[in-house]
Amino acid sequence: MLDPQAQALLDLMKKRGVPATNELTPIEARQAYRDRRFYTQPDPPAVGNVQDLSADGPHGPIPLRSYRPAGSDVETVLPALIYFHGGGWVIGDLDTHDVLCRELCNLSGCAVIAVDYRIGPEHRFPAAIDDAIAATHWVWRQAAGLCIDPARVALGGDSAGGNISAAVCIALRDAPWAPGVQPAFQLLVYPATDMRAVAPSHTENGQGYLLTSDVIAYFRSHYLDEAQYTDWRASPLLAETLAGLPPALVLTAGFDPLRDEGLAYANALSAAGVPCQYVCFARQIHGFLPMGRVLDEARTAVRLCADVLRQHLSTP
């Protein structure tokens, strides 16, 4: 059964004639995504400090936003979460996930550094991955100035951001140019892990639940070419090995086309000997995590993510 609150949200969007993302241009879709957050997301909680930063990247400067928890001293060395927003590699930015980053920051006690990586179609694959790797490396280099402990840094993200987080962890594991840049944990929220979109949930949940097969096709077409679907940077599930990666929490939604990809990735991590927890919010839709104003289970999921981060990053 679909969560009644999620059903009510879908019904309201249908009643109001909210166009599907694939019916809009990327510029229109980005604005619609920004506007929708005011209805579905809670009011932004106060945090201890917010600062806009910039990291050097291979394609130019990468905007970042740093958060520190309410009540924390600016000079206290904290664990940190580097967060990559969702949005199908086409929409989303620092503002669309500002509330979520604030919530995770306060509830986990971690600093959060959000990354505004380049998106398509203006910047196609692998620009987003390139930016994410560069931003992560920059955070390690600037750890002292940011007052974060480089031994207690997690990578995380939702949807496309979960995909990017997984790919960056693999890249860093194999990167001789970044010795010591090794995340302590992965937070993967309904991640896209196989661009081929062949899992059964793509058929089972392909229509009617906000993220449809048509929307997925729209995102993929703006981000990468079909010949790139099997590149592990796009499809981390297809990496040669997942051994040696950081421990992970993989969270999925039951009425999500990406559900089975997330489960498959969690199983593959476990099979490779990586400590991995898997939780499915069986009655939820894709993209529910930031929607705490209208979905009670979103608030529960955010607290769960924050609790797991706190547990894994509390000690070096």
- Mind telling me the catalytic residues? 159, 256, 286
- What is the 3-state secondary structure of the chain? CCCHHHHHHHHHHHHCCCCCHHHCCHHHHHHHHHHHHHHHCCCCCCCCEEEEEEECCCCCCEEEEEEECCCCCCCCCEEEEEEECCCCCCCCCCCCCHHHHHHHHHHHCCEEEEECCCCCCCCCCCHHHHHHHHHHHHHHHCHHHHCEEEEEEEEEEECHHHHHHHHHHHHHHCCCCCCCCCCCEEEEECCCCCCCCCCHHHHHCCCCCCCCHHHHHHHHHHHCCHHHCCCCCCCHHHCCCCCCCCCEEEEEEEECCCHHHHHHHHHHHHHCCCCEEEEEEEEEECCCCCCCCCCHHHHHHHHHHHHHHHHHHCCC
Query: Torsion-angle region of residue 248: left (phi > 0), alpha (psi -120 to 50) or beta?
Result: beta
Which residue from 189, 159, 213, 223 is spatially nearest to 21, judged by alpha carbons? 213
Token pair recorded at residue 250: 């993989």
The Cα 260–Cα 277 span in angstroms is: 15
